[in-house]
A and B are shown apart, each in its own frame.
Chain A
Amino acid sequence: MSLQLMRGNEAIAEAAIRAGCRCYFCYPITPQGELVEYMARELPTRGGEFLQAESEVSAINMVYGAAAAGVRTMTSSSSPGISLKMEGISYMAGARLPGVIVNIMRGGPGLGNIAPAQADYFQATKGGGHGDYRLITLAPSTVPEAAELVMEAFELSDRYRVPAMILADGMLGQMMEPVELPEPVDPADIPARPWALTGAKGRDPNVVLSFDLDPQGLKKMNQELQAIYRQIQHNEIRWEESHTEDAELLLVAYGTMGRIARTVARLAREEGIRAGLIRPITLWPFPYDPIRQAAQSVSTVLTLELSAGQMWEDVQLAVGQRADTPFYGELGGVVPTPRQILKEVKRYVSS
């Protein structure tokens, strides 16, 4: 396999096609335009359906329909558009429909701007839409990892019948890196969907629903969902960990900030500061235990985000009183340099 130089947005699109995505629905928004354009160019020539919808609301409901019909399906957008998809995502969660949603985050709230940000963490991991549901949330920090996690998102979403989100940002979407693309999935390896709507031929009718007016019935449906979520929490937590064994200070950061934190940790080590790093790859399920473990032996756990501190709340939950849990973040699409963050790190080590 050869390496290809690809933009994050394009690598995500190509990986989706290789994962067997047959229907893709979108509404244009920056900074994920290249993803839409790649799909428009490629998907129809490779046996799939591309459709530009009239809104993000429609796009996610087309995903709902295609998922109900039993195909692998995806939509992508950026923050304001993802807000519009929330109702549909909640319905997918309730109806147990698999599907992948890509959020190439930008600055918010409101129209915000088109610069990279990580301010949609709450929306992705804590609900966003209504009801007691969870979204499998995968956060790549490089272009090759983005391609890998798209394949993973389709697999996990199918396995558990829970929608999955790729949570990246404008930086990752736009940046170019060499990628070794994953091998295309053999359609025969995609799990069967006996529940799909294919016409009730020789079997009882299948019904895709997200409601039950009987409270006892809806309680049972919710309990089943929660059981699935516990399984996912048990089986699917992913994270990257480096230099935590001897660390005096632990950095926790994901996505673009996780990538910057890697450099920060190296620079800190060069200056004799024993910094370690945990980079959550699944934001839900969140790696509480690995962070808790690593926090046993450090005095400070510094969370870094391109937000006012959203994942920070989960890090605080994980660490409790075991260490100090300060936060450093940038807002509005401003991306800090590793040196800026290093300065911050030094504050905690010298004190």
Chain B
Amino acid sequence: MSPAETTIPQGYGKVFSRPQSLSDAPTTYCPGCLHGVATRLIAEVIDELGIKDRTVGIAPVGCAVFLYRFYNLDFVQASHGRACAVATGLKRANSDLMVFSYQGDGDLAAIGTAETVHAANRGENFTVVFINNQIYGMTGGEMAPTTLPGQRTTTTPRGRDVASTGYPLRISEMLAQLDGPRYITRQSLHDAPHIAKSRKALLTAFSNQLEGKGFSMVELVAACPTNFKMSPDKANKWLVEQALPAYPLGDLKVKE
């Protein structure tokens, strides 16, 4: 039954329902994965701003490749890392569209670094949602540029050796140095208060686009319980203890 059809018994009120922008397709994320939280938050924000009918999403290559199934929105799937170029093309072709890309850390901060930096530097008027889970989720848990020093992945079986593979890439800090972007922020998805903050950040990022204010990126620190080989609970604990010190939360750039 879709949310609209649900009959509410007398004496009860509706306090929770599926956002209009979300379809009723089940997600393909692993149980306990924070991708699901981010996916839903975006839908809530699109509903709140009333922009569902003019929004186009861009699905990445990564665990969110099926993103188009989870929304009731026009969608395009981009090649690995190119979402910011595709978004540029969409927005330049039709500036009335509300365009957002949704990208993992491999997609945005490794193979798509150039596209991301230059779209940000041009101040393109779209919204980027960046899921930093410190790993390549979809391909089976390889090292990402965001992987922490010493972190074991399938391609760093002895732990990430910074002498040979470099350091966690703080791309939000990099982008915050540029004159182009309007809003760069890093939030986390590990508990309810932080999810609420993440939602607020997404609302700001989409509102900026609505007002023609230019490039906004919300980095959301997440975890990949499956490839971390942890329960969701443990993965969240790991996120707080290990990831957040490397990825401090808060607004990195707010251009007035």
Which residue numbers of A lie inside 8 Å of B, CB to CB? 22-23, 25, 49, 51, 53-55, 57-59, 61-71, 73, 87-88, 91, 95, 197-202, 205-211
- Give the distance to chain A from B73, nearest Cβ to Cβ, in Å: 6
In angstroms, Cα B77 to Cα A62, docked, is: 13
Contact A197 B89 (CB under 8 A): no
> Chain A interface: which of B50-58, B141-149, B200-208, B218-226?
B50-58
Contact B75 A62 (CB under 8 A): no
Which chain A residues lie closer than 8 Å to B90 at the CB level?
Answer: 65-66, 68-69, 197
Q: Which of B73, B93, B98 has the most CB of A within 10 A?
A: B93
- Give the distance to chain B from A278, nearest Cβ to Cβ, in Å: 38
Contact A62 B85 (CB under 8 A): yes
Contact B88 A91 (CB under 8 A): no
User: Given contacts A64-B89, A73-B93, is CB(A205)–CB(B114) below 8 Å?
Assistant: no
Contact A197 B56 (CB under 8 A): yes
B-side interface residues, number (CB < 8 Å): 34
Per-residue interface assignment for chain B, residues 88 to 109, with 1 indicating a CB less than 8 Å from any chain A CB and 0 otherwise: 1111111011100000000000
Which chain B residues lie closer than 8 Å to A199 at the CB level?
Answer: 53-56, 74, 96-98
For residue B66, which residue of chain A has the nearest CB? A213
In angstroms, Cα B65 to Cα A198, docked, is: 21
Which chain B residues lie closer than 8 Å to A211 at the CB level?
Answer: 65, 77
Contact A61 B78 (CB under 8 A): yes
Cβ of B118 under 8 Å from chain A: yes
Which residue in B72, B88, B94 is a CB contact (below 8 Å) of A198? B94
User: Given contacts A25-B89, A88-B82, is CB(A68)–CB(B76) below 8 Å?
Assistant: yes
User: Given contacts A199-B56, A209-B77, is CB(A63)–CB(B89) below 8 Å?
Assistant: yes
Cβ of B242 under 8 Å from chain A: no
Which residue numbers of B lie inside 8 Å of A, CB to CB? 52-56, 65, 68, 71-79, 82, 85-94, 96-98, 114-115, 117-118
In angstroms, Cα B53 to Cα A67, docked, is: 19
Contact A200 B68 (CB under 8 A): no
Contact B118 A58 (CB under 8 A): yes
Contact B85 A58 (CB under 8 A): yes
Contact A197 B114 (CB under 8 A): no
Which chain A residues lie closer than 8 Å to B75 at the CB level?
Answer: 197, 205-208
Contact B97 A208 (CB under 8 A): no
Contact B92 A53 (CB under 8 A): no
Which chain A residues lie closer than 8 Å to B85 at the CB level?
Answer: 53, 57-59, 61-62, 64-65
For residue A24, which residue of chain B has the nearest CB? B92
Contact B77 A208 (CB under 8 A): yes
Which chain A residues lie closer than 8 Å to B77 at the CB level?
Answer: 95, 207-211
User: Given contacts A55-B114, A200-B53, A208-B77, is CB(A69)–CB(B87) below 8 Å?
Assistant: no
12 contacts between A and B (CB under 8 A): A23-B92, A53-B88, A53-B118, A57-B114, A65-B88, A65-B90, A66-B89, A67-B89, A95-B76, A197-B76, A200-B53, A207-B68
Contact A62 B86 (CB under 8 A): yes
Contact B86 A198 (CB under 8 A): no
Contact B114 A200 (CB under 8 A): no
Which chain B residues lie closer than 8 Å to A65 at the CB level?
Answer: 76, 78, 85-93
